[in-house]
Every structure is written in structure tokens, then in C-alpha cells.
Structure 1
């Protein structure tokens, strides 16, 4: 069981919080040490850009304020205009301890993501996990205290990891998947044995990981057997013959995911729209240029008539029923537009 992360400041009666400014040279040293990128920058990237982070941060600030007792609010000299000294803010110590908790919790979350490449590379899973990070922040009512439910967050991370791995497996050859699964199961069993020998607690959810990979192993073994027995199968000895998906279908796929909040909008990327598209092209190994992808995307995104034209029926049909089968909300939106496209004159 993971221990929660929380911070509490205890002051002697009559004491005040005083701000000590950090010298510019010390700030510069810190920026060089961290590479100029802090946990807030990572959270903005993970959640899909500045706008999405602002929404989450506003909700967090409101929850912090709601956790304060009415007595603290009523006795605040600063808020009631009885003092111009910010150190007289009755809520200062409470907001400070919650922000310190946020600092440690945020950095812990960033470390979890950066140490798990599967999650980091799957922007859909990453965005949902970041939302769940904010959902894992708990508040103690009337005490102005906040803590991170690390156990809950780690389980969310495990779920995101399973989702990202499943997506990778679905795009790979069966033999390759089975090889990875076998090696992973062997590694899990070695770790489990080591824990038992040293009488250490399992902190990596090895039982759950083992269950996941054993299920995948059964699935791909059965799939391989069925494909070998099927004379009309497009797979020979487990090797998947990939059907090249057109750029038009790929662009529609990301468009519908964005519309239902399952993939961040390209323009919300911290480094801009072009960088976001470049990452998608590289990650999905799409054979096109950034400019061509952007032109196709703008064509269907900027004008609905282009997207639901008669000549898009086959594309939308494929995207809805094949590419979006694991995203019911996006699939529903695509099918609704498919009906519109089917009734178009041209």
C-alpha cells in the first residue's frame, strides 16, 4: 500500500509566514540544474496545453479554498480590509502547505510518467492519466490540508500503462508480441521470487502485471492458432500483413478523438501545432510531411462541408467502425457524421 503524500506546517501561536526573495543568481543556478523545465511545465505538456492546465488549476484552487474552515475565512484581517500586510492573511499558512504538497505530488507524478515510456508516448493515455492525477488530490474539509492519494494514482498509472501496451500490441506482429510477453513474464516472476526471498513487500503490483500479460499471452496464442487454421487469413505464420491506412483516414481519426477530449488539440501543444503534428507523424510512422498532414487536417477541421462530403463516406465508415472501435464516444460522433455524408448530394 503506497503512503499518501502530504505536508503540514505547524506554527507557534502569533507566528507569521514571511516571504524571503530568492536572488536572481540562485534562480539561474536552479534553472540550469533542472534544465529550465519544472513540474508545472510537464503538467501543461501532459494534459494537452496551457488552456487545459488552466482549467485543472482553477478547479484545484477552488478546492483548496473550499477546504478552509469558515473561522479562518471570517478572521482574515487582510481579506476584510483591516490590514494591508499580506502576512496577516489567515489563509496563508494553509495555502502554503497545500502548495508545498502540490510541489511534491507534482514532481512524483512527473517522475512516474518519465520513467514509463509507454505512457509518455501515448498522448491519449497520458492526458487521461494527468486528469486522474488531479482527481487523486484529496482535501481534508475545514482543515486546509491536501494530500496525494499515491495508491490511487499508481493504480491509474498501471491502467494507463496497460492501455498503452495494448495499443502497441494491436499494431505489432503476433510473434513479436508473444516474444515481448514471454520476456516480461519471466522478468515479473524473477522480481516476485526476489521479493519472497528477501521478504519484501510488492510495491510494483506484480500480481496485476502478471495477470495482464498472461491474458495477453492466451489471446495472442489463440489468435495465432485461429489464423493458421483459417485458409483465408491474411497472416502467415503469425506475421501480420499491415494494410496501409490513408492520410485522410488518419486525419479523421485524430479529429474525432480531439472532439470528444480523447486526444489533445494540436494547437494546445506547448511547442506549437507544427511540433504536435511532427510528434504524431514520428510516433505513428506516417509516411507524409508535416505540411501535407496539416493541409489535410485543416481541410476537414476548418470546413464541415469538406468533412461530410459524399467522397468521405468510405473514409468515415472505416474510421468509425475500425479505427475508433475502442473509443465509443468518438465512434458515435463519427457515425453521426457518416449519416450526414451518406445523404449529401455530392
Structure 2
């Protein structure tokens, strides 16, 4: 079920006008202090710099101005200089209803962020999400109205949360991640079942959450499989006098060759990635299956944090100093990542 949009409209009867209330200085000072941390305060915090806040705020103000009725200045006593009463501004109603809409929408956004601490603590991600928050406003041209597309905002927030969770998983071990994923999936399924029993519409995008965590579970199950196979391979190597490249070595080797443009990407093969990998395994006589090679290759190529993990330090060193000795550009890329792996392992 799509979320309801957030918007506010003033319906003034003929002859009615907006009245500006004025506080005495002492009361105004107290009021300003009590409400110092309003929606504007938090949005500025989320966007980090004044420059970025000014950019999105100026764009919003321009869109607000463009939505006003074309004839708003006609007969305006304020514009003609016939009145100093703010209530005589023809545009007052439109500006006020859009200001209230923005305040209500901002407070809802701040509430959503406060409930998702993992997003709040990921400042670069929060900054990007806040920019997208401004992009969720819609304007009705010629009517001086605006509203927040709450469904769009919630989907942006969900996506942002997934990115943050992925970062968190990358800094934790596989088994811990699987425990968290299984527990979360259980909670999602219980909530989904409760909704179905009580005939409650899903407002939390449970299907998308379930899809995300199921994908992560598959990924980390593959991780365990790979780690177990790597362990067996290392034990086997220790019994051999001559060290032969492992599947991990070959995956890293071709990744660095592709990065240096010494070897084409598998995706560019005329018959597709799968055929390219099968041909490669046959050509290099790699002792593995195409499926397993692709799993290892994807894990290392698609995730920089996996590639420079502590356990890969020895593998990168072997590839850089043994397998890439005739490819200076690729070797340079590998050595740079080797330094990153060494720093991470300290």
C-alpha cells in the first residue's frame, strides 16, 4: 500500500486574511530558545555544510515561487504600496501553506531518521538521503500548493538503510552476519504473518526487506562455502613443495589484468560471461568448475572490502609478485591494494 502524501492547504473564506502575531522581545527570545532545534536545525545538521544546505534550499524556494498563480500580483495592496499589513499580500496564503507543508514533511523525515539509527550514524549516506528528501516534493503549478511524496521518500530511506547495513556487514565476520540476517528474517516473517492474520495492510515494505535479507543470506552462505574450500586448498598447498596458484589467485590475477586493461572483461565476450569463464578455465587448466570460479571472482571483484580483507593479504602479494611480473600496470594496482590490506590487518 502506498503511503499517503503530506500536504497542507489553507481554505480562507472571502474577506478573511492572514494575521501576523507579534511577540514582545522577551517572549520571542524565550520562544526562539525553546524551539532552537527545529526542523531547519536538523536538516542543516544532516547536510553538514552551509553550502549544500543553501543549494537545496534555494532550489526549493525557486520551485515554491514558480508554483504561485500567474496573476498573484494583480490587485495586491502590498505590491502596490497601499498597505503595510502582511495579511494584504496576495501571496501570503500560498507561501504559508507551503511553509507548513515543508515543516510537517521535514518533521516526518526527521522522525523516520531518528527511528533508523544505522542511517543517522552513517553521515555520508544520511547526507545523500537528505538531498533526496528535497527531491520528493511535488508542486501544483498555478495553485501555490506542494506536497511530499511520502511513498517515494520511504523507498529512498529503505534503499539508504540497505546500503548502510551492507557496510556494517562488510566489517563483521560471516557467521555473525548470518545470525543477524536469520534473526531479522524471522522478525520480518512474524510481522508479515501477523499482518495477514489481522488483515492489516503492509506499510513497512516487508516484501522488499525480506528480498534484501534473503539475498544477503545466500551471499554469506556462499562465503562460508568459499572459506571452507580455501582452507582445504591452503592445507593442500602446505603439503606440496611447489606452490600452484589457487582459484582465488586466478580470480585476483584476472581482476587486476582487467583493471589495467591488459585483459578484457568477461562480460564483453560475444557469447557472454559464463562462456568466457568456461573458456578461461580450460585454457589455463584451472582445477575448478566454472560455477565456483564465478562465485569467487564475483566476491572479490564486486566488493572492494572483500578484496583487501586481512585474509587476502598473502594472496594479493603472491599474485602481484609472481603472476603479474610481466604486467607492470596490473602489478602496480595490485601492490596498492596490498598496502591497503596490510593497513587493514594492523
Is 1:50–2:77 an aligned residue pair?
no
- Aligned equivalent of 1:200: 200
- Aligned equivalent of 2:211: 211
Matched residue SS, 1:63:
helix
Rounded to whole Å, the distance in 1 between the matches of 2:339 and 2:148 is: 38
Contact 1:137 1:149 in 2 (8 A): yes
CA change 1:319–1:161 in 2 (3 A) is farther
Matched residue SS, 1:163:
helix
Post-superposition shift, 1:118? Answer: 1.1
Is 1:79–2:79 an aligned residue pair?
yes
Matched residue SS, 1:146:
strand
CA change 1:80–1:180 in 2 (3 A) is same
Is 1:28–2:30 an aligned residue pair?
yes
Contact 2:122 2:164 in 1 (8 A): yes
Matched residue SS, 2:77:
coil
Rounded to whole Å, the distance in 1 between the matches of 2:53 and 2:144 is: 23
Rounded to whole Å, the distance in 2 between the matches of 1:99 and 1:62 is: 13
Rounded to whole Å, the distance in 2 between the matches of 1:103 and 1:176 is: 41
Counting only pairs closer than 5 Å after superposition, residues 139-150 of structure 1 correspond to structure 2 as: 139-150=139-150
Based on CA coordinates, which of the two structures has the bigger radius of gyration?
2
Post-superposition shift, 1:48? Answer: 1.8
Is 1:153–2:150 an aligned residue pair?
no
Rounded to whole Å, the distance in 1 between the matches of 2:105 and 2:145 is: 13
Q: Which runs of 5+ in 2 are unaligned?
A: 236-331, 342-346
Contact 1:4 1:147 in 2 (8 A): yes
**TM-score normalised to structure 2 length:** 0.65
Contact 2:6 2:147 in 1 (8 A): yes
- Aligned equivalent of 1:244: none
Could you list the per-position Cα deviations for residues 23-47 of structure 1 after superposition, in whole angstroms to 9, with x for gaps in the alignment?
Answer: 5447636744x6x411111100111
Could you list the per-position Cα deviations for residues 44-93 of structure 1 after superposition, in whole angstroms to 9, with x for gaps in the alignment?
Answer: 01112222111111111111010011111344332344443332211010
Could you list the per-position Cα deviations for residues 184-216 of structure 1 after superposition, in whole angstroms to 9, with x for gaps in the alignment?
Answer: 001001111111111111010001000000000
Could you list the per-position Cα deviations for residues 287-346 of structure 1 after superposition, in whole angstroms to 9, with x for gaps in the alignment?
Answer: xxxxxxxxxxxxxxxxxxxxxxxxxx8899449999xxxxxxxxxxxxxxxxxxxxxxxx
Rounded to whole Å, the distance in 1 between the matches of 2:211 and 2:139 is: 33
Counting only pairs closer than 5 Å after superposition, residues 7-156 of structure 1 correspond to structure 2 as: 7-22=8-23, 24-25=26-27, 28=30, 31-32=33-34, 36-156=36-156
Number of paired residues? 242
Could you list the per-position Cα deviations for residues 224-265 of structure 1 after superposition, in whole angstroms to 9, with x for gaps in the alignment?
Answer: 10111013679xxxxxxxxxxxxxxxxxxxxxxxxxxxxxxx
- Aligned equivalent of 1:179: 179
Provide the aligned C-alpha RMSD in A: 2.6
Could you list the per-position Cα deviations for residues 125-161 of structure 1 after superposition, in whole angstroms to 9, with x for gaps in the alignment?
Answer: 1011100100001100100001010000000000000
Counting only pairs closer than 5 Å after superposition, residues 171-320 of structure 1 correspond to structure 2 as: 171-231=171-231, 317-318=336-337
Rounded to whole Å, the distance in 2 between the matches of 1:17 and 1:173 is: 60
Rounded to whole Å, the distance in 1 between the matches of 2:234 and 2:172 is: 16
CA change 1:27–1:184 in 2 (3 A) is farther
Contact 1:227 1:233 in 2 (8 A): no
Contact 2:18 2:86 in 1 (8 A): no
Contact 2:68 2:142 in 1 (8 A): yes
Matched residue SS, 1:138:
strand
Matched residue SS, 1:16:
coil
